[in-house]
Chain A
Amino acid sequence: MKALVAMSGGVDSSVAAALMKDAGHDVIGVTLKLWSGPNGEAPTAGCCTVSDAEDARRVAAELDIPYYVFDYTDDFKDGVVDRFVRDYASGQTPNPCIECNRTVKFDRLLNRLEEFDRDVLVTGHHARVQENDGVWTLLRGTDPSKDQSYVLSMLTQDELSRVQFPVGELTKKGVRRIAASMGMRSAHKPESMDICFVGQGDYRSFLQQNAPEVFTPGRIVDTHGADLGTHDGIVGFTVGQRRGLGVAVGEPRFVVRIEPAESTVVVGGRDDLEVTGVELHQVTWSNGQMGDGPLTAQFRAHGEPVSAKLQGTHLMFDDAQHAVSPGQTVAFYDDEKVLGGGLISRTNL
């Protein structure tokens, strides 16, 4: 098989490349250059940094496979960064890593697979793909603590038929053991946590440059609209946040809503955070057919799945949920099996 392995320089994609090579496949490694700073430099922290590309190159050299760096900075800026800024400024809780998977890594690479003369796209995600009678199913990774099926929940049948996740069958420990036995330098590399284009968690300076409107001072009000105080911009607030509100009230208070148009932050009690259902958009189904009925839903990469019912694009939770907000991705599951996913456009229907 001719495989294109997307190599980030991290341990998972390095081992994925090694496993494909060991299995006797014809393997090519690629790293995507996704972001450059104002002077064209790559970020120094987060995923897809200069040193990561260098790590990927070194692993490819050790495996003796051809290796290329592709410049997808335009696609990344349009599809991920600009959208992140727009969503953030409109008070949403975007997940740029999911958007990057959707619009850049999978979309662009899968679209060009034939051009590259490759049969499959391989990544280091912890998830599994199975085929039964021509139907492809995405499953959670074997290691529950590493499962990344959530960020892949938008993959379609056509896409699933052309991807492979070789490390999805392994535990994180197993991956590191293989990496170490192969003498890979990335075996003990810490996992990337930051959003790559923000860099070292410095949201403020990134947003100051790209979305200055989130620094507009505004009011902090309760759910009835009564003034409780002021703030220096919605940038510091996320739905569900309890600390740092600067509001002196007896019982615990949480951010329950952000109204970016007026730069207003609405706070309330724990009950006000409760969400009984959400409206979704950009819904995709792994098997290509809309399905209604009971399922489990997950809102975060490593969140607990909760029971819910889907009717069209309305998702209703069996038990009210806290801190679910517009912009988040919901992945639908039937036990281990990924059914599909969507983006939250509104809460509490």
Chain B
Amino acid sequence: MIYLDHAATTPMRPQVWDAMEPLALDVFGNSSGVHGVSRQAKNALEESRERIASLLGARPMEIVFTSGGTESDNLALKGAAWSKSARTGVVTVATEHEAVLETVDLLGRFDDPTKLVGVDNSGFVDVDDLLDAIDNTTAVVSVMLVNNETGLIQDLPALAKAVKAEFPDVLVHTDAVQAFVSKNLDVSELGVDMMTITGHKFGGPKGAGLLYVREGVGLEPVLHGGGQELGRRSGTHDVASVVGLATAMELTDADRGRFNTEVGNARDLFERTILEGVDGSMPNSPLQSRSTHHFNVKIPGVRNETLLMRLDQAGVAASAGSACQSGAATVSHVLEGMGLSVDEARESVRFSFGWTSTADEALNGAGIVVDLVDQLR
């Protein structure tokens, strides 16, 4: 199999599995307990928190462990809207992940003021549009750093700075789920109050993520209970997964130089082969403002679900838009938000690269795509 769907999820790094195993089998204690095996688990948990905080330029207690990107986005937005502050509104962008958009939709149904800001044809949000959408009811603004479908990199530091300059009381959240694999993320440089990261996008375990919450930001929890994570997220810790998350983040940080050259080159090779070999193919985001590992391309005249099925038969794994529970490819709201027609969105496919990707895979995969498109036309 040539796996070109790393933006969906990645294979776990073997060292991550090795790091997790003793926590699952031996150090199984409840990290909130009073006895030895629990203390060991607690130590592993807090050590992981420190390791992660230092990677993000954050303080340990600013890291809240969650079950992943979706939960972190929910906690950031619901938590801010439902907090003690009089501000209850949310402003976000039309091309965000469903974890953000559906949460905003829910808040809207409960009468919190919500606004979606549009994007231009490349997917960029305009700073003035964003500022115009904010008012004195706004509690939080959420802007994704790297788009999950197109890989477009938003100029988050500039947007965050502009928001803070005009509205110092408004919180800035970013879903950085697709960003960490290729970008060093420093919360101060980004200028954000909250940031979502999840482990399985860079060789870590699924079901393990975090929300960075700047000290002093008060959030109403989404999960109430035993008061773990300083009351911000209740529930017994999955310490093995947290250790896996920390290990994956360190390995990714250490491997980032190679990732951005080798994996980036593989992606570029793949991209060039397709754009040269497939008549009329068009990248769906500007090549120079895009993450290292995404390639979202429109192939006129070929319906994406057909191409994906044929690619699967040929041993190439890729995806389109976001998948619903059944696995049916739905029309991408991201591409629609960028002004593509429904038909154009249905002709678009996302190929994404990860830590295991090689130039050989890129070349072979692109060759298969070019041949299949020839057959389908």
Digitize A41-81: 1 where CB-to-B-CB distance is under 8 Å, 0 elsewhere: 01000000010011001000000001011110010000000
Q: Which of B83-91, B125-133, B286-294, B323-331 contacts A (4 or more CB under 8 A)?
A: B323-331
A300 within 8 A of B: no
Asked, given contacts A74-B342, A117-B313, whether A69 binds B306 with beta carbons under 8 Å apart, the answer is no
B229 at interface, CB cutoff 8 A: no
What are the interface flags for A87-118 relative to B under an 8 Å C-beta threshold, 1 for contact and 0 otherwise? 00000000000000000000000001001110
Chain A residues whose C-beta falls within 8 Å of the C-beta of B331 in the assembled complex: 71
In the complex with contacts A74-B342, A115-B376, A68-B325 CB distance below 8 A: no
Interface contact B305-A70, CB-CB below 8 Å: yes
**Cβ contact within 8 Å between A115 and B328:** no
Residues in B neighbouring A117, C-beta threshold 8 A: 310, 313, 375
Contact at B306–A116, with CB atoms within 8 Å? yes
Are B309 and A69 interface neighbours, CB within 8 A? Answer: no
Any A CB within 8 A of the CB of B47: no
Q: Name the contact of A42 in the complex, choosing from B303, B326, B327, B375 (C-beta under 8 A).
A: B326
Q: B286-319: which residues lie under 8 A (CB-CB) from chain A?
A: 303, 305-306, 309-310, 312-313
A71/B329 in contact, CB under 8 A:
yes
- Is the Cβ of B324 less than 8 Å from the Cβ of A33? yes
Instruction: Identify B310's interface contact among A33, A71, A116, CB under 8 A.
Output: A116
B330 x A71 contact (CB < 8 A) = yes
Across the interface, which residues of B come within 8 angstroms of A112, CB to CB?
A: 303, 306
Q: Report yes or no: B326 in contact with A50, Cβ–Cβ below 8 A.
A: yes
- In the docked arrangement, what's the CA distance between A112 and B302, Å? 11
- Of B309, B313, B328, B342, which is within 8 A of A33 by CB? B328
How far is A117 from B326 in the complex, measured between Cα atoms in Å?
A: 23
Report yes or no: A71 in contact with B376, Cβ–Cβ below 8 A: no
Determine if A244 is an interface residue (Cβ-Cβ < 8 Å).
no
A115 / chain B contacts, CB cutoff of 8 Å: 303, 306, 310, 376
Task: Please indicate the chain A residues that have their CB under 8 angstroms from the CB of B312 in the complex.
Answer: 66, 68
Measured between alpha carbons, how far is A104 from B370 in the docked complex, in Å? 29
Rounded to whole angstroms, the CA-CA distance of A40 and B312 in the bound complex is: 26
Q: How far is the CA of A117 from the CA of B303 in the complex (A)?
A: 14
A91 to B86, CA, bound (A): 54
Nearest CB in chain A: distance from B344 CB, A: 14
Distance A4 CA – B197 CA, assembled complex (angstroms): 40
Q: How far is the CB of B325 from chain A (nearest CB, A)?
A: 7
Query: Which of these, A28, A68, A74, A116, contacts B327 with CB under 8 Å?
Result: A68
A31 to B325, CA, bound (A): 13
With a cutoff of 8 Å between Cβ atoms, the chain B residues found around residue A116 in the complex are 306, 309-310
Bound form: Cα–Cα A53–B342 in Å: 24
**Chain B residues within an 8 Å CB radius of A71:** 305, 324, 328-331
A74 contact set on B, CB distance < 8 A: 342
* B304 vs chain A, min Cβ distance (A): 10
Tell me the complex Cα distance, A53–B330, Å. Answer: 15
Q: How many Å from the CB of B294 to the closest CB on chain A?
A: 22
Query: A31 — which chain B residues lie within 8 A by C-beta?
Result: 326
Least CB separation from A39: chain B residue:
B105
In the bound complex, do residue B326 and residue A69 qualify as a contact, i.e. CB atoms below 8 Å apart? yes
Residues of B within 8 A of A57 (CB): 326-327
Contact B327 A50 (CB under 8 A): no
Name the residue in A33, A40, A71, A74 with the highest tally of chain B Cβ atoms < 10 Å from its Cβ: A71
A70 to chain B: which residues have CB within 8 Å? 305, 328-329
Are B326 and A40 closer than 8 Å at their CB atoms?
no
Please report the C-alpha to C-alpha distance between residue A74 and residue B299 in the assembled complex, in whole angstroms.
20
Considering the chains assembled together, what is the distance between the CA atoms of A31 and B326 in angstroms?
Answer: 9
Indicate if the CB atoms of B330 and A66 lie closer than 8 Å. no
1/0 per residue B313-351: CB within 8 Å of A?
100000000001111111100000000001000000000
| Chain A hits for B325, CB < 8 A | 50
Residues of A within 8 A of B375 (CB): 117
Interface residues of A in 113-135 (CB under 8 A from B): 115-117
Interface string of B31-50 (1 = CB under 8 A from A): 00000000000000000000
Q: Is the CB of B328 within 8 A of A69?
A: yes
User: For the complex, what is the distance from the CA of A33 to the CA of B305, rounded to whole Å?
Assistant: 12
Tell me whether A68 and B305 are in contact in the complex, defined as CB-CB below 8 angstroms, given that A42-B326, A117-B313 are known contacts.
yes
Expressed in whole angstroms, the minimum distance between the Cβ of B316 and any Cβ of chain A is: 13
Max chain A Cβ within 10 angstroms of own Cβ: one of B325, B342, B375: B325
Question: Which of B303, B306, B309, B331 is most buried by chain A, counting CB atoms within 10 A of its CB?
Answer: B309
Q: Which residues of A contact B324 (CB under 8 A)?
A: 33, 40, 71
In the complex, which residues 13-53 of chain A have their Cβ closer than 8 Å to any Cβ of chain B?
28, 31, 33, 40, 42, 50, 53
Minimum CB–CB distance from A336 to chain B (whole Å) comes to 36
Given known contacts A71-B305, A112-B306, A33 and B376 CB-to-CB distance under 8 angstroms:
no
Q: Tell me the smallest distance from the CB of B234 to a CB of chain A, in Å.
A: 28
CB neighbours (8 Å) of B305 from chain A are: 68, 70-71
Q: Nearest Cβ in chain B — how far from A76, in angstroms?
A: 12
Q: How far is the CB of B149 from chain A (nearest CB, A)?
A: 16
From B306, B313, B328, B329, contact of A66 by CB (8 A): B313
Smallest Cβ-Cβ distance to B321: which chain A residue: A71
B310 cross-chain contacts in A, Cβ below 8 A: 115-117
Residue of B nearest to A32 (CB): B328
How far, in angstroms, from A69 to B309 measured CA to CA in the complex? 10
Most buried by B among A42, A115, A116, A117: A115
Provide the bound-state CA to CA distance between A117 and B310, in Å: 8
Chain A residues near B329: list those with CB within 8 A. Answer: 70-71
A70 to B346, CA, bound (A): 12
Residues of B within 8 A of A54 (CB): 326
**Top-6 shortest CB links A-B:** A69-B328, A71-B328, A33-B328, A69-B326, A53-B326, A69-B327
- Which A residues are within 8 Å of any B CB, using their own CB? 28, 31, 33, 40, 42, 50, 53-54, 57, 66, 68-71, 74, 112, 115-117
Which residues of B come within 8 Å of A, CB atoms?
303, 305-306, 309-310, 312-313, 324-331, 342, 375-376
Given contacts A116-B306, A117-B375, 12 further A-B contacts (CB under 8 A): A28-B313, A31-B326, A33-B324, A57-B327, A68-B309, A69-B326, A69-B327, A71-B305, A71-B330, A112-B303, A115-B303, A117-B310
* Interface pairs (10), CB distance under 8 Å: A28-B309, A42-B326, A57-B326, A66-B312, A68-B312, A69-B326, A69-B327, A74-B342, A115-B303, A115-B306
